[in-house]
Amino acid sequence: MSLIQMDFSSTALQRFTTMEVFLPDCKVPENGFRSLYFLHGYHGNHTDLLRRLNLLAYAEQHDIAIFMPDGDNAYYADFPERAEYYHQYIGEELVQMTRRTFPLSTRREDTYLAGISMGGGGALRLGFSYAGTFSKVASLSGYLVENEAFDPVGHGTNVFKALDDVLMARSASMFSFGFPGSSLVDLPLIYLTIGADDGLRESNRQLSRMFSMYEIPHIYQEFAGEHNWSFWNARLENLFDFLNADPLDVMQDWNRQRSQSEKASGIGSSEGGEA
């Protein structure tokens, strides 16, 4: 696996920015490498994921290019007053620039997005906005910014509000196309995982319930653990299982999860093994 530290000028951020890249050494597949854009958490930076996660082993095993951009403490949101458009940077500029620079597949089915904590929330919102770019989105212990107090000036950091927007757009397209459940672009498949002792567990459960209510396919798993690196290292196995899974299998898991939660009625989510 090659490690690349890349410094470059970003239009969306109006400054130089930096990222770390893992690029597989194997022969480039016919369509190019699969790519995973991986977002760090609050207080972190692009080197976090290198230093604190054993990502390299998984990247090597699965021959996936991994891009770890620097997202500051900005929730991967747009800040017009600062001329810093992180949402647009990740969802458009970064994807295009990396695809033109490296031998990557440009297919949606080969393009994934994941994040930890603040990066998990960011990955979900970006997945909603750029559903045509990413086929799978994973949130590890996502911080969903459900509290309005944290988003006083409406930067769109609240994942629930972002979901509302998707649902609004969906219902608008439902009227225009005249049949239920239709949307302009299907949402990416979603993976949510959270530690049983994580303070963010309730909000993640709530989000999973919302997804279920609106029949948005997703996998929700709780495991013993807290909001820390040992939890996220243990989740890499689950993350890459999800990324490598056939989308049809993920849909089957989702249907199984849904029927279980219907039986357990009232708890709109399964509580995955290992607890």
Residues of this chain that interact with another protein (CB under 8 A) are 1-11, 23, 25, 28, 97, 100-103
Of 27 and 43, which has the nearer Cβ to another protein? 27
DSSP state of 35: E
What are all long-range contacts of 198-201, with beta carbons under 8 Å and residues at least 24 apart? 198/141, 198/225, 198/226, 198/227, 198/231, 199/227, 200/117, 200/141, 200/142, 200/143, 200/144, 200/227
**Min. distance of Cβ 21 from another protein in angstroms?**
8
Rg (CA), the chain: 18
**Cβ at position 9, least distance to another protein in Å:** 5
DSSP H/E element including 139? strand 136-140
Specify the residue, 10 or 133, whose C-beta has the smaller distance to another protein: 10
Contacts of 62 (CB under 8 A, 6+ apart): 34, 240, 243, 244
Burial class (CB in 10 A: 0-12, 13-18, 19+), 6: middle
Q: From the CB of 58, what's the least distance to another protein, in Å?
A: 17
Sign of the CA dihedral with 228 first, then 67, 114, and 161 last:
positive
16 versus 179: smaller Cβ distance to another protein:
16
CB of 106 to another protein, least distance (A): 10
Nearer to another protein, 14 or 230 (CB): 14
CB neighbourhood size of 126 (10 A): 29
CA dihedral 95, 100, 103, 109 (to 10 degrees): 40
- Name the minimum Å distance from CB 244 to another protein: 23
Q: Which is nearer to another protein, 103 or 132 (CB)?
A: 103
For residue 48, the minimal CB distance to another protein (Å) is 18
In this complex, which beta carbon is closest to another protein, that of residue 54 or of residue 259?
A: 54
